[in-house]
A and B are shown apart, each in its own frame.
Chain A
Amino acid sequence: DGGITQSPKYLFRKEGQNVTLSCEQNLNHDAMYWYRQDPGQGLRLIYYSQIVNDFQKGDIAEGYSVSREKKESFPLTVTSAQKNPTAFYLCASSAGTGGHGELFFGEGSRLTVL
C-alpha cells in the first residue's frame, strides 16, 4: 500500500524532553516536508528536503531539527527549545519534478506536552 506513514499517531512529552516523529514514504518522491497544523492557523512549513542529505528551514524552524539520510525517511525532532510544541504535525512528500505541486500527506502525529 503506497503512501506516507507517520508514527506515532499520538505522543506525550514532558517539558524539557526531545521527541522524534517518524515519517516514511514509499512513493519514491524526492521531496519531503514537515508542516505544523494548529487550530485557526492553517499549515505552516517547518522544514523541507528536496534531496537526500540536504534540507532547508521553513517558516517556523526554530526549536526543530531534521535529517534526510535516506530518500524514504525524513524524521523530525522537536527539541526542548521549541516554546510551544503541542500541535498536530503533518509530513508530506512530492515528486521532484512534474507533479505540479501535489503534496501527499501522512495521517499526522499529535504531540502533547504535559
Chain B
Amino acid sequence: AQRVTQPEKLLSVFKGAPVELKCNYSYSGSPELFWYVQYSRQRLQLLLRHISRESIKGFTADLNKGETSFHLKKPFAQEEDSAMYYCALRRYGGSQGNLIFGKGTKLSVKP
C-alpha cells in the first residue's frame, strides 16, 4: 500500500536550534516525494521536491530509500518557519498532482 507517515503532530523548538520533521513512506518502486507548507493565513504551497535536490528557505530533504524516509531538515530554525508541514507522495500511476499526503506536523519555533 502507498502511504505517508508523519509521526509527530507537533514539534516545538527554540529559535536557532536545528529542526527535523520526519516523514516515512511506503511505496513500491521509485517514489516522488514532496514537502508542502501552510503558513498561518496563507495557502498550502510547495516547499520542495526531492527530484530537484534543492534548498528552499534553508530547508533540505534527502530521500533515503533504505530507510524509506524523506525527513525535512534545517540547521537553524527561525520564528517565521512556524507552520504546518505536510509530506506527500505522488500516487503510483497517478497524474502530476495526484498526491498522498501525510497527516502533517505543526512546527512551532519559539523566540
Contact = CB atoms under 8 A, between A and B. Distances in A.
Interface residues of A, number: 28
B103 interface: yes
A42 B51 contact: no
Contact of A93 (B46, B51, B97, B98): B97
Contacts, number: 68
A41 B100 CA distance: 12
A2 interface: no
A89 interface: no
A42 B86 contact: yes
Interface of A: 31, 33, 35, 40-45, 48, 50, 90, 92-103, 105-108
Nearest 4 CB-CB pairings of A with B: A94-B97, A42-B103, A43-B101, A105-B44
